[in-house]
Amino acid sequence: MKKKVTLIAILFILFLSGCSSQYNEDDVIASFQGNDIYVKDLRKLFHVGDTYIPEVARNYVFQEAVILEAKELGLEVPKEDVDREVESFMTYLEEEAPRETKEFFEGKAGEYSMSVEEYVDTIVREEIEKSMYVEMMEVEAVENQAPDELNAIERRDWVEEHFDEWYQSILEKYEDDIEYFFEN
């Protein structure tokens, strides 16, 4: 019996140590053009474990740079499109999402002292709009540049390869405006 209790205690300690985080929600993890990006910004819609924080931070910075590029070109994501996506997400959350997903968003809404509906209409809306900017710019910068003679598989491969080039070129273009606060 004592072995069982000791084993349970050891497993519990290992579990707790595995759950500890080297990042606090209010830690500044990156900066883009002097605007701080916090760990909580990276975790608005998903749980992001510490291992993935650097990668997600780089993607967040990329997204901010792409939005800046789009706005400098005078491009805007239509509000009606954002509204439609937000409505679709809310319908999914209410009618189709697994219980764990619903509980996750209830918890996130609680962190912001909001109802789930308010959370979706503000925080999720903002993230959907950002994603739509990146999609719009990806089509412009990458997909529309693909040679017409490619079949569907070749086109997918071409777009993936050139997306990576575009991604790197955006980060390189703004490298003087980017600062990371994690070990690379």
Domains of the chain plus CATH, in order, are 25-180 (1.10.4030)
What one-character DSSP code corresponds to residue 124?
A: I
What one-character DSSP code corresponds to residue 140?
A: H
- Please report the sign of the dihedral spanned by the C-alpha atoms of residue 36, residue 38, residue 43, residue 49: positive
Q: Counting beta carbons within 10 angstroms of the beta carbon of residue 35, is it exposed (0 to 12), middle (13 to 18) or buried (19 or more)?
A: exposed
Question: 29 φ, ψ to 5°?
Answer: -105, -25
- For residues 119 and 112, the answer to whether their CB atoms sit within 8 Å is yes
pLDDT given for residue 184 in this prediction:
62
- For residues 37 and 30, the answer to whether their CB atoms sit within 8 Å is yes
> d(Cα 4, Cα 9) in Å, to the nearest integer?
9
pLDDT in tens, the chain (184 residues): 444 444 444 444 333 334 557 898 999 999 999 999 999 999 988 888 889 999 999 999 999 999 999 999 999 999 999 999 999 999 999 999 999 999 999 999 999 999 999 999 999 999 999 999 999 999 888 888 888 898 999 988 998 889 999 999 999 999 999 999 987 6
- List C-alpha distances in Å: 152 to 117, 125, 142, 167: 39, 32, 15, 22
